[in-house]
Amino acid sequence: MSNFDAVELIIAKREKGELTTEQIDWLVANYTSGFVADEQMSSMAMAILLNGMSRREISDLTKAMIASGERLNYSDLPWPTADKHSTGGVGDKITLMLAPLVAVFDVAVPQLSGRGLGHTGGTLDKLEAISGWQANLTNEQMHAQLAKIGAVICAAGAGLAPADKKLYALRDVTGTVEAIPLIASSIMSKKIAEGTSSLVLDVKVGSGAFMKTLDRARELAQVLVAIGQDAGVKTSALLTDMSTPLGVKVGNALEVAEAIEVLQGGGPSDVVEITVELAREMLRLAGKSDVDVAVALNDGRAFDVFTAMIEAQHGDLSVPLPVAKHSHQVVASTSGVLTELDALAVGTASWRLGAGRARKEDPVQFGAGIELHAKRGARVSAGQPLMTLHTDEPERFERALAALDGGFKIEATAGPAVALILDRISG
């Protein structure tokens, strides 16, 4: 590998220059090994945030981060593979239904997931609410489960894109999380290294999402799809609304309960709609457009795969899900239409109740969270329960209620309807 000087590369990007493939390879390899120092990489991350990167640079950065670790491969399976990545939202339990639903149609889903940080929950935290369920699998166990059941949701091992782990931690403390080239290469390096042959991105838009506006979300989605194409992974994106929570349950065990309702043919219509749309898109990319997705949620086939997937990881669905020790009801102060129910307010309140964590080593309370009794757009009467807050520690109610202050509005007339699926971007 050629030798470069980190300071020269930082200055080149500071002056809005384009880094070459060799320079990017060198930078990532030497940052991973510790030769390029954290302060140099933070300066580079800030230069990227301010001056951007070309499509070629972002693809090169992604490839270099993939090359920093191992790359899984499922080409020996008799089925195509497909995965989904969500940029994260409030009440977003879609993965729990989606992986088994897609597997019903002989498309394998290798889903490496993470834990929540801040107001958005993580899929692993949700599944750990199920008694005995194990998040950590070896690559061999993951492969064997995929070959047997067709779906696996587990923790990403330390060997996958280690450059991203190091860079993400640095971005978190240097004000450089929001740079689209860095977000896109971070997401895509992990998904491509995971070995899926097609990928659908659920890019959330709104107060509860990373991307607050449709324009920013569209820009991110276009870059993500372009990187996937450059890496030979069939990729498309849906832009979906995250200005209000998904479904009526927010919090780990509560969301597992809602996922099971959907897998048994019930559940809230917005959760069912997004699940079905994402499943159709994953199956389309995997070459199966002619299947009836919705029926597999209603006839128990997706639930059967879910049960097998949970049991294979030692989860016991016969043990009741954890329930928080204390609850508090919020009621409507007046009659009218619930015109606003803000995702960030509900997500932050749920986090403060104990469903989420402030530092990555903190534990979560499985039973904590919020049950919504009315969704945005519903007509409500004075005194009617709007939501129930749950926690093991009642002293948390005060700060959770403070987060909800101003987060919902009751007005005389309904506001304009907001579409759930805002746009689609295909490769």
Active site residues: 85, 164, 171, 186, 190
DSSP state of 383: T
Q: Does 252 bind ligand URA (CB under 6 A)?
A: no
> Considering CB under 6 A, how many residues would be counted as binding ligand URA?
5
Q: Does 193 bind ligand URA (CB under 6 A)?
A: no
Contact in structure between 404 and 349 (CB atoms under 8 Å): yes
Q: State how far the Cα of 146 lies from the Cα of 79, in Å rounded to an integer.
A: 10
Nearer to ligand URA, 13 or 191 (CB): 191
Nearer to ligand URA, 94 or 187 (CB): 187
Strands 385-391 and 369-372: antiparallel
Q: How many CA atoms lie within 13 A of 354 on its CB side?
A: 23
Q: Does 62 bind ligand URA (CB under 6 A)?
A: no
Q: How many CA atoms lie within 13 A of 60 on its CB side?
A: 17
Q: State how far the Cα of 227 lies from the Cα of 223, in Å rounded to an integer.
A: 6
Least separation in angstroms between residue 186's CB and ligand URA is: 3
Nearer to ligand URA, 210 or 366 (CB): 210
Question: Alpha helices, DSSP H only, in 104-251?
Answer: 123-127, 139-149, 162-172, 180-193, 214-230
User: Which residue number places its CB atom closest to ligand URA?
Assistant: 186
Q: Does 183 bind ligand URA (CB under 6 A)?
A: yes
Site for ligand URA in 149-168 (CB under 6 A): 168
CA distance from start to end of the chain: 33
Least separation in angstroms between residue 48's CB and ligand URA is: 12
Strands 151-155 and 109-113: parallel
Select from 61-69, 151-159, 178-186, 272-280 the region that touches ligand URA (CB under 6 A).
Answer: 178-186
Residues 6+ apart with CB under 8 A from 200: 82, 83, 84, 85, 235, 236, 237, 238, 278, 281, 282, 285
Residues 6+ apart with CB under 8 A from 78: none
Q: Does 186 bind ligand URA (CB under 6 A)?
A: yes
Amino acid at 302: A
Least separation in angstroms between residue 210's CB and ligand URA is: 6
Least separation in angstroms between residue 122's CB and ligand URA is: 11
Nearer to ligand URA, 99 or 209 (CB): 209
Q: Does 58 bind ligand URA (CB under 6 A)?
A: no
Nearer to ligand URA, 85 or 284 (CB): 85
Q: State how far the Cα of 382 lies from the Cα of 195, in Å rounded to an integer.
A: 53
Least separation in angstroms between residue 179's CB and ligand URA is: 8
Q: Does 187 bind ligand URA (CB under 6 A)?
A: yes
List, in sequence order, every residue forming a beta bridge with 238; answer none if it has no partner. Answer: 202, 424
Point out which residues bind ligand URA (CB under 6 A): 168, 182-183, 186-187
